[in-house]
Structure 1
Amino acid sequence: MNIRHYLDAGAMGADVICRRIGIDDDYRAMRRLGVFTAEHHIRYFSEMHLGGKYSTHTVVVERSAKAGHVLSFILDRTDQRLACTVEIVLVGVGMDTRRPAPFPDDIAAKFDELIDATNELTWELPLSGAMGIRRS
């Protein structure tokens, strides 16, 4: 597979997380808020072939008032191994201003629940170290 397929799989995992916490079409239409992707980092661990079976699993690593850091695992189900990770930094934005905007309290709380679940993992996340939430 080429990069597009891995990136699509990772981005779909992030989209599932966003929809699960309420960042969906209604959120964009009613609240006039959304997210933009600010950064991606792809790490390859093993090759997959187009048409092979895979699954994507995504966790939320951390967040700030306006940004979230997610990590998608693309698992090669044919060969039973980790094929790739896709890290993404999502930035909350106002759809009218197209500028960064804080996550509403209910969305931030749902992000926090997913971060708590990630923190319960008993193994270290294979983060790139090349990106994350900026603290200023």
Structure 2
Amino acid sequence: MLDRTDPPVFFSPFVSSPMGIEPQWIDYNGHLNMAYYHVLFDRAVDEVYELLGMGPQYLEQRGCSTMVAEAHVRYLREIHEGSPVRVTVQLLAHDAKRFHVFEQLYHASEGWLSATCESMTLHVDMAAKKVAPFPDDIMAALARMQAAHAALPVPEGAGRRVAMPERR
């Protein structure tokens, strides 16, 4: 559960609540299915949204929401059913209409990195179905989060692209 202050305090990086790997998420290969890595990353971002003022009530009250325009997931080490996990969320950049985050999924008790997700998210006016500027209060919250994350190094893997290895 989030301890919400006004204005919110943004830890550097943000660390999600603990989560677990559910049995129905395991695929026929005995691995966590790739779709559920996204679920874990999404749940962590939902906690950040609460702090930013863009929680579940945001769409109803403001008529706006967000949509991921691009995401890049790296699967680094298998995570198994029942494993406790946490996700860190680092705000790399933002502007008036979008933000760029890098998330890292860790085994919560052993501390090793399982996966990363880098994404670009757009702020959308749902009535107009167009990208729109964030309201001033959300921009201020993003600026506070960006300031809290400014001293963090750029994570290893940020800015990578999907490509075949170059031949030598």
Larger radius of gyration: 2
Corresponding residue for 1:113?
Answer: 144
Corresponding residue for 1:125?
Answer: 155
Corresponding residue for 1:134?
Answer: none
Contact 1:14–1:70 (CA<8 Å) still a contact in 2?
no
Corresponding residue for 2:97?
Answer: 66
- 1:128 Cα shift? 3.1
Structure 2 alignment gaps of length 5 or more: 1-31, 162-168
> Aligned to 2:132, which of 101, 104, 108?
101
The amino acid of 1:51's aligned partner reads G
TM-score, normalization: structure 2?
Answer: 0.71
Contact 1:41–1:128 (CA<8 Å) still a contact in 2?
no
> Aligned to 1:29, which of 57, 60, 63?
60
- 1:39 Cα shift? 1.2
**Greater helix share, structure number:** 1
Corresponding residue for 1:15?
Answer: 46
The number of aligned residues is 130
* SS of match in other structure, 1:36: strand
The amino acid of 1:128's aligned partner reads A
* SS of match in other structure, 1:13: helix
Corresponding residue for 2:120?
Answer: 89
Identity %: 26
The amino acid of 1:117's aligned partner reads A
* SS of match in other structure, 2:92: strand
- 1:93 Cα shift? 0.5
TM-score, normalization: structure 1?
Answer: 0.86
* SS of match in other structure, 1:111: helix
Contact 1:37–1:90 (CA<8 Å) still a contact in 2?
yes
Q: Could you list the per-position Cα deviations for residues 32-68 of structure 1 after superposition, in whole angstroms to 9, with x for gaps in the alignment?
A: 1111111111012211112211111212111111001
CA distance in 1, matches of 2:51, 2:60: 17
Is 1:47 equivalent to 2:72 in the alignment?
Answer: no
Contact 1:43–1:128 (CA<8 Å) still a contact in 2?
no
Contact 2:104–2:117 (CA<8 Å) still a contact in 1?
yes
The amino acid of 2:103's aligned partner reads S
**Greater strand share, structure number:** 1
Question: Cα RMSD (Å) of the superposition?
Answer: 1.6
The amino acid of 1:83's aligned partner reads S
